[in-house]
Every structure is written in C-alpha cells, then in structure tokens.
Structure 1
Amino acid sequence: MHPSLTETPALSRRGLLKFSLGASAFLATAGLGASLSGCSSNVAANGFVTLRSGDLLFLRALIPVMLEGAVASAAMPAAVDGTLKSLDRSLDHLSPEMLKLTRQLFDVLGMAVTRGPLTGIWGSWENASSDAMRHFLQRWQNSSLGLLRMGHSSLLQMVMMAWYARSESWAHCAYPGPPTV
C-alpha cells in the first residue's frame, strides 16, 4: 500500500519557510542590485511620465494576454497603447514608496538573470509567445511563494484597472459609463 500525498509531504513547513525566506531575500537583493547598478533607470520612456523603456517591453507582451477575450484582435494594438497610457497616468499618482516597489517589480522582471528563473521566459520579452506569457502568469498565480503570488496580483490589478478606466472597455462589461451631472 502506498502512502497518500498528505501523509508524505514533499516539503515540510520548515522547509517551505526556509525556501520562501531565501526566495524573498533573492528577489529583494536582485531588485536592490538592479537599482544600485544602474540597470534600473528612472528615466521615463519617450511620451510617458513614469513607465520606462524596459517596462514597456514587458507590458507590451503582458497586456495582450490579459486583455484576451475582451478586445478584438484588430483593436488590440490600440487597446494596448491606451492601457499603457492609462497605467502611466495611474503610476504617476502613486506615493513615492509604492512607485518604488512597482519599479522594483518591473526591474526584477526586466533583468535577464532573474527573468528566466522566475518567469520561465529566458529570452527577451519581445520574443515571448502568448502561451509563454500565460504560463508565466499561471506559474506566479499558483506559486507556493507568497511574494510571487503578490507580484501576480499586483500586475493583474494594475493592468485591469488601467484597462477598465478607459471608456472603450465599458461596452464589453455592459457598463453605461458614469452618470452625467
């Protein structure tokens, strides 16, 4: 008779805590290292107030996957651009500390040394397929590491709030728009 999975856990609580602590330390160190090494520029991309060029590469790969089913493929490029502008305006109104944390998340995703192990996408974001992006999102959503689940939640909330703040998104969810005053 074989023991059930609950009787033989693959990772004990202590092991999981050690692993989580190590992973958290790794991510914090990688983010800090990017900030201190100059990999993380605070210079906004052309036409943006807050979003940087590296952030745009990642977000242009991410947003179409998140908006799948809500936007027709022909309208996707305009929807991505509009969502980026909306997200940029939202980030510009964050507190300095929240903006710093958001940039650290983007830095960790932008550095090749952390992007591959954390996301499973070893090449550049421009070459990431939709399937690879979906796998990355599912990986973070279902991760045993709370930090990755928080990263998934942050990305999801940022993109969805930026998209649904735009009037072009309202028809898809049958929202008539704000009342006229």
Structure 2
Amino acid sequence: MPRPIRLNRRGLLKLGVGASVALSTAGLVATITGSTPDQPHAGMKVLRSVDLPVLALLFPAFIGPHPKLDDVAIQAAIRQLDFTLAHSSAQTQKEALQLLGLLSFAPTRGPLTGIWGAIEQASPAEIDTFLQRWRDSRLDLLRQGYKALGQLLLMSWYALPQSWEAAGYPGPPVI
C-alpha cells in the first residue's frame, strides 16, 4: 500500500513556487518559439487556430450530456466564447489565451494534463481524468485553471438559446 505524501507548509510553498515558475517558463517558451500563434483564427477576434481543437474537446466534458450538444452547437459555443473574450479586458484575454496555450502546446500539455499525444486524439475519458486532476489538485494554480475553464465554457454555452430548453429557461423576457 503506497504511503500518503505528507507535505509541511514549507514544502507545499516550495512546490507551489516551483510549479508557478515551471508553468510561467513553459508559457514563455511557447510564446517565444511561436508554438502558439498570436493571430486570431480566420473569422475570430481573439481565439487562435490552436485553441479550437482544445475547446472542442473541453465543451462536452464541462457541459456533460445535453440533448442539444452536437458539433454545430460546440462551434456556436466557441464563437460565443470568442465574442465574450473580444468584449473582455485585455488582461482577461491574455490569461485565457495563456491557459489555452498551455493546453495546446504539447511540451506543457503532457506534464500538466497527462495527455501526451495530439490533443485531437484524446478520448473523453482522458479529458475527464485531466479535468478531475486539476479540479482536485493540491496546486492552487491548477485548481484556478479548472475554475477559469469552467467559467468560460459554461458562460459561453448557457448564452446560447439551444442550451436553454433543457435547463428549463424560457429565455430573456421580451421587452
């Protein structure tokens, strides 16, 4: 039976600082090497082409079984997320793109998520496992990443009329 890992306060602080430095360095390397392009995808205002496959896999994981969630609805939710980000502060855009960049860049995605191959090849079970790891992580940085992804994706999904019916929401009042 494996022994539980016990960290004292100092050890936990060192681990947190180390993880923050590693993530920051990886993000910087991805940006400098051009692994995450700065230009938005054609037809988008903020989201880049490398973000789209990641988002297409994350939406079903966060939304769960929904009668209206299909490929067309996922693309609509991605467009809604782009619209929302385009109308957000520059800092919010930057942080969202950094988070998505970490997930789309293979050298950072592997250690952070456990998905070592191409993200497009990841199974729903692998996506669920990585999200559960982040949600339950001891590292505040990963828990914050999980919360940020959840807020962005759920906000974008529930802004779409096709999501309302199953939730019992009749839509905004007619004025």
Structure 1 runs (4+) deviating above 6 angstroms are none
* Higher gyration radius (CA): 1
Instruction: Give the letter for the 1:56 counterpart.
Output: L
The C-alpha deviation readout for 1:98-134, integer Å capped at 9, x for no partner, is: 1111111111111111101100101111100000000
Query: Structure 2: 5+ residue runs without aligned partners?
Result: none
Does residue 123 in structure 1 map to residue 117 in structure 2? Answer: yes
Among 112, 134, 147, which residue is 1:140 paired with?
A: 134
Could you list the runs of 5+ residues in structure 1 that have no partner in the other structure? none
CA distance in 2, matches of 1:98, 1:168: 26
Would you say how many aligned residue pairs link Structure 1 and Structure 2? 173
SS at match of 1:48: coil
What does 1:62-101 correspond to in 2, within 5 Å? 62-72=58-68, 75-101=69-95
Conserved 8 A contact 2:36-2:105: no
Using the size of structure 1 for normalisation, the TM-score is: 0.90
Residue of structure 2 aligned with 1:103, choices 97, 101, 117: 97
Structure 1 residues 140 and 9: alpha-carbon distance in aligned structure 2, compared to 1, 3 A threshold:
closer
Distance in 2, matches of 1:24 and 1:71, equals 39
Q: CA deviation at 1:9?
A: 6.1
* Secondary structure, counterpart of 1:40 in structure 2: coil
Q: Percent identity?
A: 43
Q: Is the contact made by 1:71 and 1:79 (CA closer than 8 Å) also made in structure 2?
A: no
> Is residue 55 of structure 2 the alignment partner of residue 21 of structure 1?
no
* SS of aligned partner of 1:39: coil
Structure 1: how far apart are the matches of 2:90 and 2:25? 20
CA distance in 2, matches of 1:47, 1:157: 23
CA-to-aligned-CA distance 1:21-62 (integer Å, 9 cap, x gap): 100111111112222222221111122221111100111111
